Amino acid sequence: PRFGLFWSPDYGKAGTLCEKAANKLQIARFPKEAVECFTEAGEYHEQDGSMSKAITNYGKAADLSLRSGNIEEASKMFTKVATTYISIGDVQRAADSLVAAAKAVNSKESEQLYSDACDLIWDGSEGLEDLTIGARAHEVFESFVEYLIAKDEMKKVKNFLPRYIAMLRRNEMTASLCKAYLTSAILEIAEGDFVHAQVNEKERGTREVVN
């Protein structure tokens, strides 16, 4: 048609309609279909440039998937929330959403979610001095360490501690830094590596004096 040249899709309206449909399906106890509609709503809002609405709907899809016992889908949707935050340059909230997801799903997916959250902040491939990080960035790393300790994954804790310690140094978290050095020393002693344990204790003591 001649006037077709002037027509453009209304993604915002489509997103709103999908969200309304999702709410009705959720009330009617059709969780799978509701999740699909929330996801579509998020995608339409994202195309419309309404990122906050997109994040809200992806979050609803994630929460509903979780309550329905679909852990894999919940993990995927939480990751979609994080990806949307990244698209608007909010790395901290993206990482926070992955940490929240890891705690919520509390499954084999959790470790990867924690790891991905830390990588978003700093994957260790470049110096921290070249990065702009938030005042709460170390909390993401702290959550991962606490998770690994709770799972008794001490070898993984030991391997990850250097990155955690570097992050604590960057954010000048003295108390947590001393605790991290002590944890590192204990793990070295447990493996019979007294030399590295002494180095860690010396480093911890030096920083206590300096601060």
Which residue, among 161, 139, 165, 129, has the nearest Cα to 148 in the 3D structure? Answer: 161
Predicted local distance difference test score (pLDDT) of residue 191: 72
- Give the Cβ contact number of residue 56 at 10 Å: 17
Residues in the chain, how many?
A: 211
pLDDT in the model for residue 210: 36
Tokens for 63, please give them. 């929460």
The mean of the pLDDT values for the chain is: 87
Instruction: Give 132's pLDDT tier (boundaries 50, 70, 90).
Output: confident
Which tokens go with 143?
């959550």
Q: Which of 126-130, 175-179, 188-192, 202-206 has the lowest mean pLDDT?
A: 202-206
Q: Say what the pLDDT of residue 87 is.
A: 94
Residues in CB range of 181: below 8 A, 6 or more apart:
165, 200, 201, 203, 204, 207
Give 41-99 pLDDT, tens digit per residue. Answer: 999 999 999 999 999 999 999 999 999 999 989 999 999 999 999 999 999 999 999 99
Q: How many CA atoms lie within 13 A of 133 on its CB side?
A: 26
107-124 per-position pLDDT tens digit: 888 999 999 999 999 998
- Whether the pLDDT of residue 142 is over 50: the answer is yes
pLDDT of residue 202: 45
- With cut-offs at 50, 70 and 90, classify the pLDDT of residue 184: confident
Listed residue (34, 116, 20) closest to 67, CA to CA: 34
